[in-house]
Amino acid sequence: MSGFVAAATGFPAVLFSFLLIVVIGYWLLALLGAIDLDHGHVFDDGVFAGFGGVPLAISLSLLTAFSWFLSLAGTVVLQAVRPATPVRVLLGVVVLLVALVLGALATRVLVVPLRRLFSGAAEPTRADFVGRPCVVRTSTVTHDFGQAEVTAADGSSAIVQVRLAGEGNLHAGSRVVIHEYDSEGEFFWVSPLELEAEKD
């Protein structure tokens, strides 16, 4: 037990040991209801690269736990080797950096499946495209032929089968609006965007 304490309080593990105590204290308060986990901030990957999609508290807790364990293992090795003080400090810094990098990688791997639990968003359906404008990608669109590119609310785009409803001269690049989905034919009815604007 004394060996474990010595390793946990030795450099560089002691840095993560302190952070681990903070993390444990945080989760104990959460279990006691002193912290509301339902409103934990969720960063997207553009803000917190690789750790997005789950509450920040979970990402940082995982990073701290993995880095602590790796730095503890490195500290045990350093204490067993017992290099000279200058070399030990240098190796301690190397262990610290390696623990951070490997801890971050392990956290990112674990965050991927956890995102599904915190997404909270319903699965997108084709009906979500109804009412959205799109751009014709085929040479023409008729009652039985045509494709267009539509952009979903999340910014992703898709090529969908479209059919012309009513009159119009559609060609590649024409802007149209989707107003109905035909589930039997698995295509969308579209009208020229100009006609829809005139109706309004």
Q: Are residue 67 and residue 97 in the same domain, yes or no?
A: yes
Query: Would you write out the chain's pLDDT as a tens digit for each of its 200 residues?
Result: 577 787 788 888 888 999 999 999 988 888 887 766 554 444 444 445 556 677 888 888 999 999 999 999 988 888 888 878 788 889 989 999 999 999 999 988 888 888 777 665 455 577 788 889 999 999 999 888 999 999 877 677 889 999 998 777 788 999 999 989 998 888 999 988 765 444 44
Same domain membership, residue 152 and residue 100: no
Number of domains in the chain: 2
Residue 120: the pLDDT is 54
Q: Which of 124, 131, 76 is nearest to 99 (CA)?
A: 76
| 54 and 86 both lie in a single domain | yes
Does the pTM exceed 0.75?
Answer: no
Least Cα distance to 3 among 61, 72, 50, 106 occurs for 72
Q: φ, ψ for residue 188 (rounded to 5)?
A: -110, 140
Supply the pLDDT for residue 1.
Answer: 59
Output the pLDDT for position 40.
47
**pLDDT of amino acid 137:** 93
What pLDDT is recorded for position 127? 77
Residue 190, classified by CB atoms within 10 Å of its CB into exposed (0-12), middle (13-18) or buried (19+), is buried
The pLDDT assigned to 196 comes to 46
Most distant CA atoms of the chain, gap in Å: 86
pLDDT for position 170: 85
Same domain, 8 and 56: yes
pLDDT of residue 197: 43
**In the prediction, which pLDDT does 36 show?**
61
Domain with 167 in it: what CATH number? 2.40.50.140
Is there a single domain that holds both residue 48 and residue 74?
Answer: yes
CA distances from 140 to 92, 131, 136, 158, 180 (A): 67, 21, 8, 18, 19
Q: Which domain holds residue 111?
A: 2-118
* Co-location of 102 and 17 in the same domain: yes
Which residues on adjacent β-strands are paired with residue 190?
Answer: 164, 178
Q: Which long-range contacts (CB under 8 A, 24 or more apart) does 173-177 make?
A: 173/135, 173/136, 174/135, 174/136, 174/141, 175/133, 175/134, 175/135, 175/136, 176/133, 176/134, 176/135, 176/136, 176/141, 176/148, 177/131, 177/132, 177/133, 177/134
| pLDDT at site 119 | 63
Backbone angles phi, psi at 183, to 5 degrees: -70, -30
Tokens 């479209």: give the residue.
162
- Find tokens 């490997």 and name the residue: 102
